[in-house]
Structure 1
Amino acid sequence: MSLIDVFLEIEIPQTENPKLFHANALSDFPFSKIAVNYLGFPVILISSKFDQTHLSQKNIKLKYIELTHNLECKVWENGKSKIDNYSVIIFKSDEETLQNYFLGITQSLLNSLSKKPTQKEVFETFKNFVEIFRSLTQTPTKTIQGLWAELILVEQSKNPETLLNYWHNIPEEKFDFNADSEKIEVKSSSNLERVHIFTAEQLNPTNDSQVIIASIFTKQVSNGLNVLNLLDKIDNRITENELKEKVYLIVSKTLGNTFEQTTKIKYDYDLAKNSLRFYRHQDISKVERINIPERVSEVKFKSDLTNIKPIDLTKLFTNGQLFKDT
C-alpha cells in the first residue's frame, strides 16, 4: 500500500492541539510513522538515536513544509496514545495530488535512511528534501510543456534510469540529456507542426558529438496526464533513490512557484507517445557556426523538420548507452 493510501485511512484529530497527531506505523520503516494533524495535513514522524545534533539545527518553515527537530508529540495509534520526541515534517496542503507528490518524495527519503538512523543521519538526509521544497518558492525556469515533453521521453524509454542519469541537473543547460558524445534535445509543439526553435549551439555541436532531436506533439486536454501522473509512471520503473530525488528536485526547480497551478495542466498522452520522432542534428537546416560573427552569441532560429526523414535509434551506430536506452 502506498503512503497516500495509508494516510487517507487515518482519522483527523478533533482538536486544535498542534502537537497531537493520529498516526499509523509504517512496517517498511520501523523508525517512522505517517500521521495527520488537526488541519488534515500529512505529517511524517521520524524517531532517531539521540546524539545532540538537533541542538545545532534550526527549524524550517517554507510555503509547503514545516520541519521541526526533536519535538515532543502526543501520538494516537491503534486507540492508544504515547508521548515521545520526533523529527516532524508537516506538508501544508490538503490537496490530494500535492500530498501524493510530497509523500512520493518522503518515501525516497525514508528508503535512504538506515533502520536505526541517528539524528545526524536524518538531518543530512533532510538537506535535499528541504532544497526540493525551497525550490517551489522560486521563479520557474522552463515551461510546463517543455518539462512534460522531457518526462514523457523518459517514461517511454527502454531504460528510464539511463536517461535520468544524463538528465540536466539545472533546466537552463544547453541539452536536456547529455552523455558527452551523445546528446538529446527534446522539442515540443502544441500546434501539431514540427517547427521548433533551436539555439546555434544545439545544432552545431563539437565534431565528436552526435545530437539527436526528439520531436513531440503536446496538446492540452482535460482527460490527459499531468506532470505528477508521469512522475508516478517513471517512479514505478526506477529503483535508485538518488535518481528519484533528482527527478523531484528538477521538477520542483523547473516549475518553481507555479507548481500548484501548472501541475493541473494535462496533455494528450497517446498523441505525445505516438508522435515521438527522432532526428539527427546534421539533417536539420540551421545557421552554421562559420556564419556566426565572433562577438555574436545566443543565436536562436526556427527550423522546420516536416520534410526531414526521422531516424530509428535502434539502427544508429553508437558506442554509448544513452541512445541505446532511449
Structure 2
Amino acid sequence: MNQICELFRGLKDNFSELTDSTHVVSLPLSSRFLLGITKIQTPVFFIECELKNYSADLNLEYISVMFNKKCSLIDDSNRKFSKVYTVITLNQSDCDFQNYFLEVVYLILQKIPKKADGVLIKKEIDKILQLFSYTSLPAAKSVQGLWAELLVIEQSESPEYLIKSWHSHANSRFDFNDGKDKLEVKSTSLAKRVHDFSLDQLKPNENSKLIIASVFALETTSGKNINDLRKMIFEKVSNIETQSLMDSIVFKVLGNEISKSLDFYFDYQLAVDELKFFDSGSIPKIENIPAEISNVKFSCDLSNIKSLSKNELKKIDSVLFRGLL
C-alpha cells in the first residue's frame, strides 16, 4: 500500500505549473491505470477505457468522476499524449486523507484484470463511487467505537474471519455475528471499565454464545488512528476481497466523519494491555422487567467482574471466539 503513496509523493516533488497537461505515472498494475496530480496538488486516477453505457459525470463531497474524458497528459519522461479515460479526482487537500484515498482506490483497482473489458471496469468504478457516496451520510457510530472494533480485529489470531463476521449494517444488534455466536465490543475513555448496555444486547438467542470485548480507548495526541489500524490489519489479511469488505464497512460506519476520523488518535498500547473479554452471563443485569417495558439501557462497571483468559476462550466451542487472542 505504501507504494501508491510513494508514487504520489514523487509527483508532488516534481510538480510544475508550467504545463497545461496533467503529470502522471503508470501504476504497476497495468499501463491502463495512471496516477496524476491536479493543479491544486490532489491525486487523480486515470483509467483507460471507453464505456458504452456510462453515467453522467458525478461530483460527490470528496471525489469527482468524469467518464469518457479525453485527457492531455505528460509522463515522467516528459512525453505528451492524449487518450480517453475515466477520471477519478480527490477534492481534499488534507495529506492523511489523500493517502487514505490513494490506498482505497488502489486496492479496488488491483481487482481489475489487465485485459478486463469495459463492463468489468465499470463495475469496479461503481464500487469506488458507492464507497464515497457513504460520506454524505451521518456517522452511524463514534470514531472511538469503530477504533475499538478495529483494535479487536487487529489483535485477533483470525482477523479475516472476524472481518467476514463483522456487522454489515452499523445498527446491527451485535458487532460481530458469524451466524452462530456473537461478539459485542464496548469502549470507554474513562479511568474505570464502565460501559453502556441495552438489555437486548445481553440476550443472544438460545443456542448462541455472546462475548463482550472491553476496550480502553484513551484519546492522545500521538497514538494510532483508524487508518493506522487498517494498515496493521492488512499486513495480516492479504485477501483483496476481505480488505475491500473491511473498507466498505468503515466507510458505512463513519459516513460524513470519514475525513475527520483521521484526526483522532488513541493510546494503542494501553488498549492492547487492557483488552478484556467477558462472558455475557457474568455481567450484572436488570432482572424481572415487565414485558410491556422495552429499550432498557444501563451502565455497568466491569472492573470487578472476572474476565475470560485466553485458554478459557479457546475452550469454548466457537470458531468466532477461538481466534480472539
Normalising by structure 1, we get a TM-score of 0.93
CA distance in structure 2 between the aligned counterparts of 1:92 and 1:214, rounded to whole angstroms: 38
For residue 294 of structure 2, give the secondary structure of its aligned residue in structure 1: coil
Query: Deviation at 1:91?
Result: 0.9
CA distance in structure 2 between the aligned counterparts of 1:16 and 1:61, rounded to whole angstroms: 25
For residue 193 of structure 1, give the secondary structure of its aligned residue in structure 2: coil
1:228-274 deviation digits (Å, cap 9, x = unpaired): 11111112221222222222222222222222223201110100000
Partner of 2:141: 142
Identify which of 296, 300, 305 aligns with 2:297: 300
Structure 2 residue runs without a partner (length 5+): none
8 Å Cα contact 1:203/1:281 also seen in 2: yes
CA distance in structure 2 between the aligned counterparts of 1:27 and 1:197, rounded to whole angstroms: 48
1:155-191 deviation digits (Å, cap 9, x = unpaired): 1111211110001111111111111321111111111
CA distance in structure 1 between the aligned counterparts of 2:19 and 2:145, rounded to whole angstroms: 43
Partner of 1:233: 232
CA pair 51-204 structure 1, distance change in 2 beyond 3 A: closer
CA distance in structure 1 between the aligned counterparts of 2:297 and 2:250, rounded to whole angstroms: 25
8 Å Cα contact 2:182/2:204 also seen in 1: no
For residue 22 of structure 2, give the secondary structure of its aligned residue in structure 1: strand
CA distance in structure 2 between the aligned counterparts of 1:157 and 1:295, rounded to whole angstroms: 40
Partner of 2:65: 67
Is 1:321 aligned with 2:322? no
CA distance in structure 2 between the aligned counterparts of 1:325 and 1:29, rounded to whole angstroms: 37
Query: Deviation at 1:15?
Result: 5.4
Number of aligned residues: 319
Partner of 2:280: 281
CA distance in structure 1 between the aligned counterparts of 2:293 and 2:117, rounded to whole angstroms: 54
1:59-110 deviation digits (Å, cap 9, x = unpaired): 2110111111111001101211101111111011122110111111112211
Aligned residue runs from structure 1 range 86-97, under 5 A: 86-97=85-96
Partner of 1:84: 83
Aligned residue runs from structure 1 range 1-326, under 5 A: 2-10=3-11, 11-14=14-17, 17=20, 20-48=21-49, 50=50, 52-54=52-54, 57-77=55-75, 78-288=77-287, 291-316=288-313, 317-326=315-324
Structure 1 residue runs without a partner (length 5+): none
Query: Deviation at 1:13?
Result: 4.2
Query: Deviation at 1:293?
Result: 2.4
Amino acid at match of 2:296: V
For residue 130 of structure 2, give the secondary structure of its aligned residue in structure 1: helix
8 Å Cα contact 2:159/2:237 also seen in 1: yes
